[in-house]
Structure formats: C-alpha cells, structure tokens
Structure 1
Amino acid sequence: MRATGTTRRLMSLGLCGAALAAALAAPAAHALPGERHRPLWTATDTGTDARFRGLAAVNSRTAWLAGTQGTVLRTSDGGRHWRDVSPPTADGAELEFRDIEAFDARRAVALAIGEGEASRVLRTDDGGATWTESFRNTDARAFYDCLTFFDSRHGLAMSDPVDGRFRILSTADGGRSWNVLPGKGMPPAQEGEAGFAASGQCLVSSGPKDVWLATGGAATARILHSGDRGLTWKAAESTLPAGDPARGVFGLAFRDRTHGIAVGGDYRPDQESPRAAAVSDDGGRRWRQAATPPAAYRSGVAWLPHSRSAALAVGPTGTDLTTDGGRTWRTLGTGSYDTVDCTADGGCWAAGEQGRAARLGRF
C-alpha cells in the first residue's frame, strides 16, 4: 500500500501520529464518560457481504475496496456512503479481487487473482464508471497475488513461482500496459514457496525504486527485496512460522526504505501463531523476531501517519498496536479485519469479511 508522507502536520483526527499512538495505547483512551468501552474502529455500511482483502486509502475521506464477487466500492465522504463501481466482465467471469492501488478518487488499478486467465489487472480513470482490462494472464502456471506502485506511473505485480522463480510484471504507464520482467535477477524459489493474496500487502514499495515481496508455504518464510524496481532481488529469511503451506509472511509495511514490519503466522483458526511479527531496520536485509508479537495470526499492517514508531496490525481475531517500531505489540480490539491502510492526512481504514469496512475511531 501507499507509504505515508514525511511532512509533519496536524492530522484530521486532531492529533499528530505520536499523540494518536499514545491515545490508542492508554487504557482510558477507549472510555468516555458513562461508557465502559468505545470501539477502536468505526464501522461503515458497505451494503454488501463481500470479503474485502484489497484496500486503497487515498485520504481520510476517500478510499477504495476490492473483494469477492467481483466487487469494487469507492467512498468520497469518509465511509458514510459507498458507491458500487464494480467492473463488468465481457466474458461473464466473476473476478476475485485481492488488491487495489488508487492514485486519487478517480484513478485506480485493481488485481483479480486465480489460475490462468482468472488473474487480471483492470484500471479506471473515471472513479469506476468504466474500467479497462490492461492485463490478462495467459500462462496456466502463473497465479498473481499482489501489486504495488512507486508513483502514478511505475508499478509491479507479482505471481507465484513459474519455472522455479517468482514472476514479476512491470508497468511504466500507470497500469495501462504490463510486461513480464526477466527472471534472471530473481533468486530460485524454495519448494512449495508462494505468496499469500490475503491483504494486498505481499508486495509493497517505498520511495522511487525499493520494493519487498513476502513469501510462505516453504521450509523458510522469506522476504525478498529489490532496489531497482524489480530487476534484481535478494532474499532474507524472516523469523515467522514456516514449514507448512498455511504459514509464512502475509503482510509487509515499510515507513521508508529502511524500517519495515512483517506480520503473518498460520492462517488456520485452529493453529497458534506464536511468532507472528518481525522487524527490520536495514531495508529488509535482516529481520528480528518481535519480543512481544501479536497474540495470533495477522494478515495486514500499516504505520500510523507521521509516526516513527507506531503501527497497527489486523487479522481475523483482532487489531494490535505497536509504539516501539514493531518490537512489542498490544491487542486493542477483537473485530475481524484482513487489511489496513493509513494516509498522510490521518485517515486509517480497515476492511475484511462480511462487507466490513471501518475507519479508526476518534479518541
């Protein structure tokens, strides 16, 4: 998802990032006079039961959702109203959207996942009134999971390994056309290694050229980094659970090209995830296990705006907060969300199953 800005200013919530983090961390911050508890997230009515794993927050008022049943929604009034802008398909296929990247209220690029031609990329320039299919996968061996953009022109999408290496698509025109990058700069994949299309955060970027790719399903859960927009990559081992197709790194967030957080675990509800988070302060070359990780599997993570140390992680069993750069985490709420995204003006959004979409509550 989009990296937060660096300009320090007051947030629309009336608090700067550090103050918001302190408010979230304080036990009394959830209580109002006469109330025992105030929800962390303020739910919005999307009018659908689709599961939204794709989320692109533009600002505190504008956000896009992408999910099951070919559903794409957009709000421009802070979630009070969601407009159904789902793209029709010429072949009648019901697309499974798992990621969306938005440049503003009118321009967005959405990724549908699946084997073969089920993996597609679509773009809109008019707020979802019309969509153009800019890529359709014709290789039955490929399965695309996530996409990311460095700016409004340059972006990448990633597929599970083909011929033993992760496959990378590149665009230099805002997602209007795509090309497969040469695979010679990509390290060999481990047996069973793949990406998780769980939150739109298995491929994330920061700055004009740096990008990270999260993996799982193999003996080791890895995080791959490229400093040249996907031409060459180096792999680093994470500390997250591995050794099973259901385990690995599910979500990444970098607040700059140096400081990153990885979350994941085992997505099966009957399995524990004791090591569900890790941190890096060297651009992903090395990862350290969180001293106090989230209590369970987490699929999405986002840095709080204008904070150097605070971030939120979400998953099916709750939301967690760190105020020390990912070293320790504390559970704040138990609502189910798959993905989270924050914006430079102080808007934080979350989305998930049963049509869930919410904004961070006011404290």
Structure 2
Amino acid sequence: MRRCSVWVVGLCAIATCVLNADAGAFVDPLSLPSAPTDNLIHSRLMAVASSDQGLVAVGPLGHILVSGKLGQDWTQAPSPLSTDLVAVRFVGERKVWAVGHDGVILHSEDAGKTWSRQLDGNQVLEILRGQLKRLAPSTDADAMRTKGELERAIADGAAKPFFDIAFLNEKEGFAVGPFNLAFHTVDGGQHWQSISELTENPEGLHLYGLAVVADKLWLVGERGLVRCWDSTTSRFQRINTPYQGSYFGIVGDRSTLVAFGMRGQAVRSTDAGRTWSLVDTGSQAAIAAGTEMSDGRIVLVTLAGEVLVSRNQGASFKVQHLLEPMPWFSVAQAGPDSVALVGASGVRVESLL
C-alpha cells in the first residue's frame, strides 16, 4: 500500500486509543463521549471555522471548543465521541459540520454548542459494500478500477479518516479523505453515498481539501490534483495547474482563486480556474490552511508558524512574524482585523498588521 505524504502523517499522527481505567479493556472511541478537559485552549487543535455567530475549533479525542465571534472566551462543547477531529466548517450562520478519523462526520444546528453523529467508519463500510455490490456486474475499465479501490478500502476496515468537508448549500455536501475516499449528501447529511468514481482520480490519490468559492466546489489533493464540481454532469472536472506537488487547500472570491500546499507553493487563477500562475508566498514551509477576510485579504498559515498575508488578491504575500509562533494547522477570521489560529499548542487570536 502506498504511504501517506508527510502532511497526512502529520495530520493523522495522533492515534486514538482509549483504555478503561478500571477494567483495562479497550473502549471504542466511537462509543465513548469526549471527556471534559482543563486548559484545552492550550492543547493541540486541528481546525477552526467562524461565522457571525462565533467560532468553533476541533481537535484530538473529539475535543470541540466554541467561542464568541471575536474568539476571546472559549468553552468546551460536549462531543458524542472521542475520535480525533481534523476539520470543521460553518454553512450559514448556525449549521456546522466536523469530520475526522474513523470515518466520522458530526453536525451541529446551534453554532457548535451541541452535536450529533451523522456518519462513522462502520456505516462507511456498509455504504462501500453496497457500492461494490452494485458495481459487481460491470466489467469496463473504470468500473474495474473502482471495484479494486472499494475492495482495498473495505479491507482496511472502519478506521479510515475524512480530511475535509464542505457544503454548496445547507443540503448538498461533500467529504473527502485518503486514497480517493469521497462521499456526497443531498439531504443535509441524513444520508451519504460514495462518489469515488466521480473524482477523475484513477490513481487513487489522497484528497486533502475542499472549499466553496464563488458558489463552486473545489477539491485539491496530492500530486497536483485540482478538481471542480460540475453540477450539470454531477462529477468533478480535472483542472490543470503548473504545480505537481500536494495541495492542501484553496481560497478566493469571485475574481481570484489561490491553491496552496507543500514547500510554500501556491498558484493563482483570475479566470475561474482556466489558467494558473505560480505565486511567491515568501515561505518555504508547507502551507496548511487559508482563509479570505471580509475585506478581501487572503491569509495563509504554515507548519513553520508563519502567517502569510496578501492585500492584492493573492498576487503576492508578506510574512507576518509572531512573537510566539507554533505549527499552525488552521485559520479563520475572528474580527475585522484579527484571525483565530489553531495549532500544536492550542488556539490564539492575532491581529493582522
């Protein structure tokens, strides 16, 4: 089996193995609610998202933190499981989705205060088995390749993670993960189905990031993979860019797209993804995440603890040095001139210069 990239190893490094203190027996993290934890704001967190209602941050052991929109006071929200969470997204002002290890998809209707489970690895396996059964009679090359992917995914068991989630609206959403794991819902997450055959990814590359930009859904992954969802054909379209390394995310607005990834690499498009040019980000480190501010500034963060800010729609970036940097995994707008950053040592709110 092909190994995950450095980014996936870093993202998935925390193994969730919970032991019962009295009996010494293994407890499935999918069945164990996340425990209340002191000083969680200074513990490792993996992702943060914001809306006008506030901010939500997620991390290992099912930890979820919520805050007001300026990110000054954080409280732990109850979580129905203790598996690692690695991504979180607002859809509108109050609906939130989070994903993580063990095929987990969680949902909140109240801006992150309470959560319910929509999917987990056991259910993912059942969905994949159903897809494999439907494809069984097919003998064309694409179907045979998809069947091979499904057989390998089923053999790996229920522990496979989702890396990211995004919704085009409150009903239609997508979740993606390693080895071409891709799921789709059209009813707000009540039901999910596998769409691995729709990603234009015959090599089974890892799918790292999703984003909705200007009402279009974008997908990025390893080896230069960039795709755009075509709602007319209900499948992803292949997009070519000048960088062939791993992309971890994409941000932008109606006039600009910026995809970013390994070694400080970023590419920019000003024509809805038809053509792309390389961008000098000023960094050599892996760019883990990005966000667009309400005034159009683009902010990227790196695993070297850098904050990269563009004031010209991603044409160039300047490094903002922080007094206490740490490896940053995610960023979201907190106030008009501030961002919430999460990383190896928790969550911080920093003003942009």
Q: When the two structures are superposed, what TM-score results if normalisation uses the length of structure 2?
A: 0.69
**CA RMSD of superposed structures (Å):** 2.8
What is the aligned counterpart of 2:331 among 337, 340, 347? 340
Deviation of the 1:280 alpha carbon: 1.2
What is the aligned counterpart of 1:254 among 244, 252, 255? 252
Deviation of the 1:252 alpha carbon: 1.0
For 2:166 and 2:116, locate their aligned partners in 1 and report how far apart those are by CA, in whole Å: 18
1:198-237 to 2 correspondences below 5 Å: 202-208=209-215, 210-216=216-222, 220-228=223-231, 231-237=234-240
Work out whether residues 53 and 352 of structure 1, in 8 Å CA contact, stay in contact via their aligned partners in 2: yes
What is the aligned counterpart of 2:206 among 191, 194, 202? 194
Matched, 1:120 2:109: no
For 2:112 and 2:281, locate their aligned partners in 1 and report how far apart those are by CA, in whole Å: 42
* Gap change, CA 1:328 and 1:80, over 3 Å in 2: closer
Question: Greater RCO between the two (CA within 8 Å, min separation 6)?
Answer: 1
Matched, 1:133 2:117: yes
Work out whether residues 148 and 157 of structure 1, in 8 Å CA contact, stay in contact via their aligned partners in 2: yes
1:323-334 to 2 correspondences below 5 Å: 323-334=311-322
Work out whether residues 123 and 176 of structure 1, in 8 Å CA contact, stay in contact via their aligned partners in 2: no
| Equivalent in the alignment of 2:23 | none
| Equivalent in the alignment of 1:42 | none
SS at match of 1:299: strand
* Residue type at the aligned position of 2:321: G
For 2:334 and 2:72, locate their aligned partners in 1 and report how far apart those are by CA, in whole Å: 18
SS at match of 2:308: strand
For 1:293 and 1:222, locate their aligned partners in 2 and report how far apart those are by CA, in whole Å: 23
* Residue type at the aligned position of 1:97: L
For 1:225 and 1:104, locate their aligned partners in 2 and report how far apart those are by CA, in whole Å: 21
| Equivalent in the alignment of 1:68 | 60
* Residue type at the aligned position of 1:223: V
Deviation of the 1:254 alpha carbon: 2.5
Consecutive unaligned residues of structure 1, counting only runs of 5 or more, are: 1-44, 197-201, 243-247, 266-272
* Gap change, CA 1:160 and 1:253, over 3 Å in 2: same
For 1:122 and 1:301, locate their aligned partners in 2 and report how far apart those are by CA, in whole Å: 22
Offset from partner CA, 1:143-167 (integer Å, 9 cap, x none): 4211001222321111333xxxx34
Work out whether residues 250 and 260 of structure 2, in 8 Å CA contact, stay in contact via their aligned partners in 1: yes
Work out whether residues 224 and 234 of structure 1, in 8 Å CA contact, stay in contact via their aligned partners in 2: yes
Deviation of the 1:100 alpha carbon: 1.1
For 2:219 and 2:300, locate their aligned partners in 1 and report how far apart those are by CA, in whole Å: 18
- Structure showing the higher helix proportion among its residues: 2
| Equivalent in the alignment of 2:149 | none
Work out whether residues 49 and 55 of structure 2, in 8 Å CA contact, stay in contact via their aligned partners in 1: yes
SS at match of 1:108: strand
| Equivalent in the alignment of 1:88 | 80
For 2:175 and 2:194, locate their aligned partners in 1 and report how far apart those are by CA, in whole Å: 9
Work out whether residues 95 and 109 of structure 2, in 8 Å CA contact, stay in contact via their aligned partners in 1: yes
For 1:291 and 1:345, locate their aligned partners in 2 and report how far apart those are by CA, in whole Å: 26
* Gap change, CA 1:261 and 1:80, over 3 Å in 2: same
Equivalenced residue count is 278
For 1:327 and 1:277, locate their aligned partners in 2 and report how far apart those are by CA, in whole Å: 10
Work out whether residues 86 and 128 of structure 1, in 8 Å CA contact, stay in contact via their aligned partners in 2: no
* Residue type at the aligned position of 1:214: V
Matched, 1:52 2:36: no
SS at match of 2:163: strand
SS at match of 1:144: coil
* Gap change, CA 1:315 and 1:175, over 3 Å in 2: same
Q: When the two structures are superposed, what TM-score results if normalisation uses the length of structure 1?
A: 0.68
